[in-house]
Amino acid sequence: MKKAIVLGGQTGSGKTSLAIRLCREFGGEIISADSMQVYRKMDIGTAKPTAEELAAAPHHLIDALDITERFSSADFVALASKALEDITSRGKLPFVTGGTGLYSQMLFNSFSLSQSGGDPEVRRALAEEAAERGADALYAELCKADPDSASRTQPNNVRRVIRYLEIFRVTGLTPTQMNEINNSGKREYDPLYICLWSADRKLIYSRIDARVEKMFASGLEREARSLYDAGLENAPTAGAAIGYKELFPYFRGEYGLEEAKELIKRRSRNYAKRQQTYFKRIPGCVFVDIDGDPYKTVKELVLAHLER
């Protein structure tokens, strides 16, 4: 089987810099598993690799789409599969790098919503919608998004309707489509899952805070303003991305800049918690503490995986 490395982890854990060092060591190339770095014109707020970093190692799925295009997990699988084939055909080692664990699991046919725990926030939002709009409205949405699943349940089975809609909103796929991906052909790749994390929560939080401050010093407010002026505040791209969506209300005068900045930090910290929780549910995922220099540990893990 072809080898692949998945380097995931929390926001601010140093995935990009470590992946570049590993690419130099092992002759690898990076496939970005980030739901927002795929878009052009969203650079600072997504902590996209710098020009120097992009030059230091080949990157795939960076600046691949226009900001107005939708990008689902299924789209990621399609693009990343082509990149995997290209990289391995040239004898290179693919490093799938990013904090979106769902993407890497689906890429390697190992995703299960029940195993991953799904997305509690999406589930909670759907439950609130059911209470506000009624079960029939939610069922009508399911009929439009996933007629096959809708035909197998009743409108009054709210729990199941919510579950099916959760799958669709999280993955962009119906359960039938997910099964087709998970059962499609033989699994050609043998991925090693590595998650960078910190046992010291204060360390990762301080990194996140410093990262946000650096973003503002680099021009995040200006970048977000250009998206706002382009009418993208409600787009499923910029309108959903931490670092941008907090600044849009500031531009409307709803609160001050410092409040927006603190909101970005707080939501980034909460996102880091969810990232760690997600990777904990991936079978066989190895956690490497970032306290100090994790390069040696990760390098040894990669060597052992390649020799298996």
Q: Which of 148, 177, 206 is the last residue of a domain?
A: 177
Residues 211 and 258 in one domain: yes
Q: Which domain holds residue 252?
A: 2-108+187-307
Residues 199 and 284 in one domain: yes
Q: Which of 177, 202, 223 is the last residue of a domain?
A: 177
pLDDT of 152 reads 87
Residues 126 and 172 in one domain: yes
Geometric angle at alpha carbon 69, from 242 and 45, rounded to 5°: 25
Q: Would you say residue 262 lies in a domain?
A: yes
Q: Would you say residue 66 lies in a domain?
A: yes
pLDDT of 72 reads 83
133 token code pair? 């709009």
CATH code of residue 258: 3.40.50.300
pLDDT of 47 reads 95
pLDDT of 182 reads 62
Q: Which of 157, 177, 197 is the last residue of a domain?
A: 177
Query: Along the 308 residues of the chain, how does pLDDT read in single tens digits?
Result: 899 999 999 999 999 999 999 999 999 999 999 999 999 999 999 999 999 999 999 999 999 999 989 888 888 988 999 999 999 999 999 999 998 888 888 888 755 555 555 677 788 889 988 898 898 999 998 898 888 888 988 988 999 899 888 888 877 777 777 766 666 544 689 999 999 999 899 999 999 999 999 999 999 999 999 999 999 988 878 888 999 999 999 999 999 999 999 999 999 999 998 888 889 888 899 999 998 789 999 999 999 999 98
User: pLDDT (tens digit, 9 = 90+) per residue, 81-119?
Assistant: 999 999 999 999 999 999 888 888 888 875 555 555 567
Residues 102 and 200 in one domain: yes
Nearest to 265 by CA among 201, 209, 202: 209
Q: Would you say residue 182 lies in a domain?
A: no
Q: Would you say residue 280 lies in a domain?
A: yes
Residues 77 and 138 in one domain: no
pLDDT of 185 reads 44
Neighbours of 271 (CB within 10 A): 15
pLDDT of 187 reads 66
Cα torsion through 128, 130, 131, 136, rounded to 10 = 170
Residues 98 and 131 in one domain: no
Residues 58 and 89 in one domain: yes
Can you tell me whether residue 87 is helix, strand or coil?
Answer: helix
pLDDT of 110 reads 59
Q: Would you say residue 200 lies in a domain?
A: yes
Residues 70 and 191 in one domain: yes
Residues 150 and 241 in one domain: no
pLDDT of 20 reads 98
Query: Is 57:28 a contact under the CB 8 Å cutoff?
Result: yes
Amino acid in position 144 = K
Residues 134 and 17 in one domain: no
**The pTM is what?**
0.82
pLDDT of 123 reads 86
Q: Would you say residue 217 lies in a domain?
A: yes
Count the domains in the chain: 2
pLDDT of 217 reads 98
Question: Pairing between strand 2-9 and 286-289?
Answer: unpaired
pLDDT of 48 reads 96
CATH code of residue 143: 1.10.20.140
Residues 8 and 124 in one domain: no
Q: Would you say residue 201 lies in a domain?
A: yes
Q: Would you say residue 104 lies in a domain?
A: yes
Residues 127 and 34 in one domain: no
